[in-house]
Chain A
Amino acid sequence: MNKALRINSTFECDLLIVGAGGAGLRCAAEVLDKRPQTQIMAITKGAHPQKSHTSTAQGGLAAVDPKDPADKPIYHMFDTWKGSDCAADQNIICKICDAAWEQIVWLENKGMHFSRDTDGKPGKRTFGGHTVNFGESSAYRAVFEADRTGKGIMDTCWGESLKRGITFINQGIATELLFSRNQCVGCIVFKQKQGEFIRILSKATVLATGGSGQIFKVTTNCRQNTGDGLALILQTGLPVMDPEAVQFHPTGIVGPGILASETLRSVGGILRNRDKQAFMEHYAPKMKELAPRDLVSRAIASEIRAGRGIFNPDHNVEHIWIDLRHLPDAVHDKQIPEVTGFFKKYLNLDPKKELCPVHPSNHYHMGGIPTSVYGEVQDISGQSIPGLFAIGECAAASFHGFNRLGTNSLLELITMGKFVGDNILAYLSRVPGKLPEAEGRHSVSQFTGYLDARGKDNIGHIRDAMRMLMTENVGIFRTEEGLTKAVDVLNELKARADKTALSSKSLRMNQELVQHWELDNLLTVSMAVAQGALNRRESRGAHFREDFPERRDAFNYHTLVSMKQFAKVEFSKRDVDMSIFEEGGKHYEKFGIIERRY
């Protein structure tokens, strides 16, 4: 037994933010701006907040400029509702789309380096699924910072938090939420560099832990996106919502799955199969390459399954081409330099002269921790848990439903970060000064279990087997048989993981120890995703069941999955909010249960 394994010290703060990415730090910046004396601690699993996944987002940020004569927030709301396959919540769609431009201005005024048009204003471009006049033509709605929009947001939110005196704990992981009666009062945190547990008591706790892409073999997500926030929530007995709603980006670069942004298609890139044929017109005659991501991903997967893919021997994978050869040099050099640079860097080829190999790559988790429009975490009955909030990719308000439109995730980060910041300011003024005590019993025994295990196996091998299993059975195309198999094998992998011994019992920066904890989270999230997908016997947005290929009205609800014990799943439901439709205002009929064709 390792002597050092105990909770070493206790810290107190007003606000604890778990996950220092774009959403978490936008929230922090808002709180510190309005109430500078607030004590905020922010934990990041990465080496530094600037290394968060937000930094990798490329294309843009959707927002309707009130000065734009052609575009209106109602069109943005419609596109988001249609894109979600009638599974997003209209109350949050309304709130986010209405507040969007204000947040662009906030970012700009705080120093984000938006690309400019010839008048010196933030430039705009089109993106898949974004239209004016209810699908009539493409909307110029995405502001951007070249092809590094996420980096601009991350730098700005980090800078503003730093400026206002936040305290960061880098390379920390939150292993347990603390409760006093029903109120969340903080977290147990394991500091990797020091190899020690600390207790942080906090009046308000925000989960902003990001995505869970590492459950799949091919993903655009960062290495640390292991669904930790979802696992933390499930561990406490609270539900996750729509875990089966997982987006696959159509164009991951062959090999590691690095994102080749939709921007490549919005500037005119064409998808071609083995015979060099442009095939998107067969799948989405109107929008073609700019159809929503799930449609394009399935089109590519279908071409490959029909034998019209190309085999890459190095990565042992089939792909199709994206053709950028016809684009002018100015487009290559000014608009997409970072993205085309990926093809040069990772495949040693020149996109100006050669076709580029791409295939679908896991990209985004629409599902997540269910929250109110103010980011309050909810239980299965829709009751808010006092003191606990969730924002960003780990949360589901639900702005994206079953399919997210490009450029809507960055918008969600900054708007929800702001809304939750405002809500927390109000919450902090209500809660009494003294924090209740809470122990935290689970973390030490969990880590002791990792250190005491004696089995001969390898965490990396189990993780790889899980990721392959999920890609093959819980990916773009799903069936009853494949999903059932996934559930069975996940149980086996969990049993293997529990027995696996660590090579070193050291606590300081023991990467394998943290990877064991991450593997537990990955297996937990994988199980929730597979079970959710099994339960939803229909196809909707990115969730596609080959055995139930149509959307069904009987499934017009959000799935809630609770799983306090591994694989012991309980289902419940949350209604889809249709308040725009129900209020019967102008254009309300566009917000009914509508067909989703592009």
Chain B
Amino acid sequence: MSNENSHSQVYKLTLKIKRYDPEEKRSWVQAYNLEAGRILRFVDLFRQINDEQDPTLAWNSSCEHGQCGTCSVKVNGKPLLACELLVENAVQYFQTRTFTIEPLNVAPAVRDLVVDLAAAYERIDRVQPYIIQPGSPPSEQDAYPIMPQSLDHYVNATRCINCFCCASACISSHNSFLGPNAMLATIVRVMDPREQEKAKRLKILYSEQGVYRCHSSRACSFVCPKEIDVAHFIALAKEGRILNKS
């Protein structure tokens, strides 16, 4: 077994972190040098900086295993979850031991790597991420039947965790486009047979800030930590192929 004989290896890294002080409204880049084992995650590195060098560096995380989408940052320009990036993978992928780390540009920074996610979420709220008008189940106290084949058409879109990596990578303007994850949230309910309010959904989808703002760069699919083919769903919407006929 290869993993039985794995040996620990230490990497010497430099993290150049974009900082922001809200009191003085000042931004700067601060470099931290540190040593780390091969399968430590970037959130572990941030914690190491707090514990050993600089307790004032602010960053955000919650579950730290890719389920919540709180720790999104840009590493060497690529939006990703800091909890999913292992040191040895980062060194191999980016071919360097120096990493530039910035907050996502989807909302104003609160401090350092912490952005105001509540502001970013306003775009999700606008597409109404719930069933607006539920259909009636066959009888009271019954689940609405959904065949697995039908669910398969959109189940991947339901896996979105709103980490906003796609929104950050998207080449369309953040002002004119609600963003790929907001589109996914509404596409899910267009495809969900339980949702009766399709007209309002389609209006949002094909509005001024809707899917036609997408330039089909597929950057969203490329960066999605959950490996959702976001661009595929947006393309279906553009072609008008998301209405569930059943």
- C-beta contact mask, B90-123 vs A, less than 8 Å → 1, else 0? 0000000000000000000011001011100100
- C-beta contact mask, A143-162 vs B, less than 8 Å → 1, else 0? 00010100110011001101
Tell me whether A564 is interfacial, beta carbon within 8 Å: no
On whether A47 and B70 interact (CB within 8 A), knowing A116-B147, A509-B111, the answer reads yes
Range, interface on chain B: 35 or more
With both chains docked as a complex, state the minimum distance between the C-beta of B246 and any C-beta of chain A, in angstroms. Answer: 11
A357–B125 CA distance with the chains assembled, in angstroms: 41
Contact A314 B47 (CB under 8 A): no
Contact B141 A511 (CB under 8 A): no
Contact B121 A48 (CB under 8 A): yes
A506–B26 CA distance with the chains assembled, in angstroms: 14
Contact B38 A314 (CB under 8 A): yes
Contact B70 A51 (CB under 8 A): yes
Most chain A CB within 10 A, of B37, B130, B134, is at B130
Task: Decide if the interface of chain B is mainly helix, strand, loop or mixed.
Answer: loop
Tell me whether B175 is interfacial, beta carbon within 8 Å: no
Q: Which residue of B lies closest to A113 (CB)?
A: B158
Which residues in window 1-48 of B have CB below 8 A to A? 1-4, 6-8, 21-23, 37-39, 41, 44, 47
A50–B61 CA distance with the chains assembled, in angstroms: 13
For A108, the chain B residues whose CB sits under 8 A away are 137, 143-144
Contact B68 A121 (CB under 8 A): no
With both chains docked as a complex, state the minimum distance between the C-beta of A9 and any C-beta of chain B, in angstroms. Answer: 18
Which residues in window 346-397 of A have CB below 8 A to B? 346-349, 354-355, 357
Contact B62 A347 (CB under 8 A): no
Tell me whether A56 is interfacial, beta carbon within 8 Å: yes
Q: Which residue of B lies closest to A123 (CB)?
A: B148
For A258, the chain B residues whose CB sits under 8 A away are 64-65
For B179, the chain A residues whose CB sits under 8 A away are none
A346–B89 CA distance with the chains assembled, in angstroms: 10
A50–B57 CA distance with the chains assembled, in angstroms: 24
Contact A105 B143 (CB under 8 A): yes
A461–B151 CA distance with the chains assembled, in angstroms: 48
Tell me whether A440 is interfacial, beta carbon within 8 Å: no
Tell me whether B199 is interfacial, beta carbon within 8 Å: no
Q: Which residue of B lies closest to A145 (CB)?
A: B158
Which residues in window 202-217 of B have CB below 8 A to A? none
Most chain B CB within 10 A, of A102, A111, A115, A503, is at A111
Tell me whether A245 is interfacial, beta carbon within 8 Å: no
On whether A348 and B86 interact (CB within 8 A), knowing A111-B192, A464-B51, the answer reads yes
A315–B111 CA distance with the chains assembled, in angstroms: 31
Tell me whether B145 is interfacial, beta carbon within 8 Å: yes
- Identify A47's interface contact among B8, B60, B65, CB under 8 A: B60
- Identify B22's interface contact among A119, A310, A459, A509, CB under 8 A: A509
On whether A113 and B68 interact (CB within 8 A), knowing A47-B60, A314-B6, A346-B41, the answer reads no
Could you tell me which A residues sit within 8 Å of B by CB distance?
Answer: 46-48, 50-53, 55-56, 101-102, 104-105, 108-111, 113-122, 146, 148, 151-152, 155-156, 159-160, 162-163, 168, 170-171, 193, 222-224, 255-256, 258-259, 310, 312-315, 338, 342, 345-349, 354-355, 357, 458-461, 464, 502-504, 506, 508-512
